[in-house]
Amino acid sequence: MRTVVIAAIIVMATLVLIGCGEAGVDRGVAEADKAQMTAALEALVTPRDPKDRCRALTRGLIRLVFDAPGDCLRRAASLAPARISKGALKVTDVKITGDRASAELQSTDGKLTLVFERERGRWRIDDLGPELTHFIAAQSITELGLFRQPPFSTPAVVRCGQRRVTELSPRRTRQMVFTGRERGFANRVIAIVSPCLVSEREGRAAARKVFENSIRGNRDLDAARSNCIIRRLRQTLSSRFLAENFTKESKRVTDLVTRAASECS
């Protein structure tokens, strides 16, 4: 997932560089400031040394995105620059307030935002902006592969889950992607998407199918006993309750399965 993060930053940097120099869009911005911002972006796109990519980011952004500075270096070294067609995006506004600067960029996909901070005497990238953060979230979820795994792979659940992620506020999206270590990302995504298993009829049916297949796949049960347990659970365990508890441990589900197994022995 962290590879997706820095790759997205590099893509953004490529787009910004294509737009740099657009006449009349950054009046009042000192040439020295623009040069440093451009240098930071160039360091991401065409670094002389992989370390230059991480040097282009503020310490705060590195702490937010990566588990450690060394993680940034490893990810940066593994990626090549993105190739974007010329003219795909133009800088529409650059504003500097003290040691902070924002750049609004216009692409075919809409407005994108990038924030710089003057740190250790140079402008460095400090914030990805809400649009890029949402993009990183979408790409990270794709890399995670959740929507390729039953029961989350059913079309209705995929649509519902993608909608729920898209509707997250920038703050919630940032928390989902960056809070804690990488291994917690999957759990946060599942927590956001799991309600779709309950709200969508296809989701409830898919959750039940996965649950029943796990019983059929139990090597300690022959086919007759497995089918008996499944029949009894269909009478005592509703698909809605099963979907509500699909991603967490439920004492009631455990007790019902145990009782059904005992009755079918």
46-61 pLDDT, tens digit per residue, is 677 878 888 888 988 8
- Can you tell me the distance from the alpha carbon of 174 to that of 156, in angstroms, rounded to the nearest whole number? 25
| Confidence bin at 1 (pLDDT 50/70/90) | low
- Summarize the chain as % helix, strand, coil (round to 5): 60, 15, 30
pLDDT of residue 23 exceeding 80: no
Specify the pLDDT at position 4.
Answer: 60
pLDDT of residue 39 exceeding 50: yes
Q: What percent of the chain has pLDDT over 90?
A: 35
Specify the pLDDT at position 80.
Answer: 63
Measured at the CA of 223, the angle between CA 218 and CA 227, to 5 degrees, comes to 95
Pick the residue with more confidence: 184 or 96? 96
Specify the pLDDT at position 156.
Answer: 96
The residue among 86, 119, 77 whose CA lies nearest residue 100 is: 119
Of 8-22, 32-46, 51-65, 76-90, the range with the highest mean pLDDT is: 51-65
Pick the residue with more confidence: 56 or 79? 56
Pick the residue with more confidence: 255 or 50? 255
pLDDT of residue 89 exceeding 70: no
Specify the pLDDT at position 201.
Answer: 96
Note whether 151 and 206 are within 8 A (CB): yes
| Confidence bin at 255 (pLDDT 50/70/90) | very high
pLDDT of residue 29 exceeding 80: no
Note whether 14 and 46 are within 8 A (CB): no
Pick the residue with more confidence: 40 or 121? 121
Q: Does domain 2-127 have CATH number 3.10.450?
A: yes
pLDDT of residue 190 exceeding 60: yes
Mean pLDDT of 211-234: 94
Specify the pLDDT at position 8.
Answer: 63
Mean of pLDDT over the chain: 79
Cα 132 off chain centre by:
10
User: Is 0.85 topped by the overall pTM?
Assistant: no
